[in-house]
């Protein structure tokens, strides 16, 4: 479940382990004293003084190659094209547009997004964040179909708002809030590596997960939408055949397919949108990197017939056409195109994957290596047969890498989630593989003394 993921992921390198300087320690303490504490976010380990390209820098002059970035660093931090877009909007005095007025940057972005989106997706709405974008998609699906239920996979996260939390299925975010949105149904997350039946035949595994979907759709005629990431959060890559069958089932039952591409859009998987590897959804949701690693911004792009709720206001957001955000998002898409980042993700992803597979060949604890493009994951196990999750090794390895200036996230407690900016170099990816190899060798030579210094990311 994503809960263990996030709790495993949430831990952080203790400030003491990073030997932060006195001024940074003071800042970390002030942070702890003033922010409401929340799991996954407090306490912090260090402070960023600069984020540029693929790296974040601290006050002590250390830098971290960032394979985490909360997923916003698709084109790297502080990209000159993003800086120029912001400077241009401020210089032109076009940084906000109230409702009732359109503006050139908003229309340009809408047209640009449609031009790169999978064919058939032609209508957009923008909003401040990914959670809201998922909620717009769900509202659109409900209003368009006249139905009220949603389907999503267990353990998934589709945002922090009430509706997004309900649609997703991570108990960490849901529990304790009382009744959430009624009609949010959940299916077992397809997991070929740890499927509960112990099967290895991918077709047979897919067939069983599809059977569960088919039975649910037959029994639940009020489902408006199936919401899912096309590549799951633990980097499990469904087969094309799986998504084709899901697509067919959705169409047959009048259910809209919503792809949450908040993480995967704009090149990460080696295609502009992960959907291109599989099928075209009815609604595609973008966010995170869309804001250039600077601004919160997100949106949806939907099929033409879904332009059917003009009597409602599903995207009634203050910043729904913010020209500054739109200028930045256009710069992001243009940068991905101009710098050939889609092909780069594909090529460097294959190189990185090969390096990680070498680790799998060398170390018994590397149970599974999976992913697509620069969206990879390494699943650590205590034993390859039992596939028992090895959270301690994952935590120790994260600590090792953090001390060597490499930051990444853990999911499900034991899965190294490796998502570098698409502008990363081949040499930097080799550095990551070398640091993991060094850490794994050290761990194999002797168990870490005492508790690992990291309980997550």
Ligand X SMILES: Cc1ncc(COP(=O)(O)O)c(C=O)c1O
The site for ligand X (CB under 6 A) is made up of 129-131, 134, 157-160, 229, 260, 262-263, 287, 298
Could you tell me the smallest distance in angstroms from the CB atom of residue 71 to ligand X?
6
Could you tell me the smallest distance in angstroms from the CB atom of residue 261 to ligand X?
8
Both tokens of 54, joined, read 């693929």
Cβ distance to ligand X smaller for residue 263 or 352 = 263
Query: Using CA atoms, how far apart are residues 133 and 16, in angstroms rounded to an integer?
Result: 39
Is residue 8 within 8 Å of residue 449, measured between CB atoms?
no
Cβ distance to ligand X smaller for residue 157 or 352 = 157
Cβ distance to ligand X smaller for residue 291 or 323 = 291
Could you tell me the smallest distance in angstroms from the CB atom of residue 104 to ligand X?
25
Could you tell me the smallest distance in angstroms from the CB atom of residue 165 to ligand X?
10
Could you tell me which of 195, 176, 186, 194 has the C-alpha nearest to residue 155?
186
Is residue 341 within 8 Å of residue 330, measured between CB atoms?
no
Query: Using CA atoms, how far apart are residues 211 and 219, in angstroms rounded to an integer?
Result: 12
Enumerate long-range contacts of 335-338, CB under 8 Å, 24 or more apart.
335/75, 335/79, 335/81, 335/82, 336/74, 336/75, 336/266, 336/267, 336/272, 336/422, 337/116, 338/81
Chain length of the chain: 457
Cβ distance to ligand X smaller for residue 40 or 222 = 40
Cβ distance to ligand X smaller for residue 157 or 242 = 157
Cβ distance to ligand X smaller for residue 147 or 419 = 419
Cβ distance to ligand X smaller for residue 174 or 351 = 174
Could you tell me the smallest distance in angstroms from the CB atom of residue 62 to ligand X?
26
Could you tell me the smallest distance in angstroms from the CB atom of residue 79 to ligand X?
19
Determine how many CB atoms are found less than 10 A away from the CB of residue 92.
Answer: 13
DSSP per-residue codes, 44-82 = -S---SEEEBTEEE-TTS-EEEES-GGG--TT-BT-HHH
Is residue 25 within 8 Å of residue 59, measured between CB atoms?
no
Closest residue to ligand X: CB criterion: 130
Determine how many CB atoms are found less than 10 A away from the CB of residue 385.
Answer: 8
Could you tell me the smallest distance in angstroms from the CB atom of residue 258 to ligand X?
11
Is residue 135 within 8 Å of residue 228, measured between CB atoms?
no
């Amino acid at each position: 479940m994503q809960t263990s993921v996030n709790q495993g992921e949430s831990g952080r390198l203790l400030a003491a382990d990073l030997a932060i300087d006195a001024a940074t320690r003071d800042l970390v303490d002030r942070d702890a004293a003033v922010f409401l504490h929340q799991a996954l976010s407090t306490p912090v380990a260090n402070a960023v003084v600069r984020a540029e390209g693929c790296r974040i820098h601290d006050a002590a002059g250390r830098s971290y190659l960032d394979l985490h970035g909360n997923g916003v660093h698709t084109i790297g931090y502080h990209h000159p094209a993003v800086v120029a877009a912001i400077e241009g909007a401020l210089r032109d005095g076009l940084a906000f547009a109230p409702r009732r007025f359109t503006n050139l940057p908003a229309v340009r972005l809408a047209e640009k997004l449609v031009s790169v989106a999978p064919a058939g997706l032609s209508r957009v709405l923008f909003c401040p964040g990914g959670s809201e974008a998922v909620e717009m998609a769900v509202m659109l699906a409900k209003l368009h179909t006249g139905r009220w239920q949603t389907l999503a996979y267990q353990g998934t996260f589709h945002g922090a708002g009430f509706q997004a939390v309900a649609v997703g299925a991570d108990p960490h975010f849901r529990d304790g809030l009382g009744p959430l949105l009624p009609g949010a149904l959940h299916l077992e997350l397809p997991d070929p590596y740890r499927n509960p039946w112990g099967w290895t035949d991918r077709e047979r595994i897919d067939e069983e997960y599809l059977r569960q979907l088919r039975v649910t759709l037959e029994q639940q005629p009020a489902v408006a939408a199936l919401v899912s990431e096309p590549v799951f959060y633990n980097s499990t890559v469904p087969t094309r055949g799986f998504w084709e069958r899901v697509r067919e089932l959705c169409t047959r039952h009048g259910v809209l397919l919503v792809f949450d591409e908040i993480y995967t859009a704009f090149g990460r998987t080696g295609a502009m949108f992960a959907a291109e590897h599989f099928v075209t959804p009815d609604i595609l949701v973008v966010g995170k990197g869309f804001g250039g690693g600077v601004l919160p911004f997100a949106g949806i792009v939907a099929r033409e017939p879904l332009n059917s709720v003009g009597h409602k206001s599903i995207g009634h957001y203050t910043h729904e056409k913010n020209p500054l955000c739109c200028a930045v998002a256009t710069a992001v898409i243009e940068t991905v195109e101009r710098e050939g980042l889609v092909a780069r993700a594909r090529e460097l992803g294959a190189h990185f994957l090969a390096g990680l597979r070498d680790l799998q060949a060398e170390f018994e604890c590397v149970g599974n290596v999976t992913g697509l493009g620069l969206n990879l994951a390494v699943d650590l196990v205590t034993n390859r047969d039992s596939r028992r999750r090895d959270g301690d090794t994952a935590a120790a390895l994260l600590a090792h890498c953090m001390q060597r200036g490499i930051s990444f996230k853990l999911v499900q407690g034991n899965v190294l989630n490796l998502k570098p900016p698409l502008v990363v170099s081949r040499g930097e990816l080799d550095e990551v593989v070398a640091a993991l190899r060094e850490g794994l060798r050290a761990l194999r030579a002797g168990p870490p003394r005492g508790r690992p210094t990291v309980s997550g990311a």
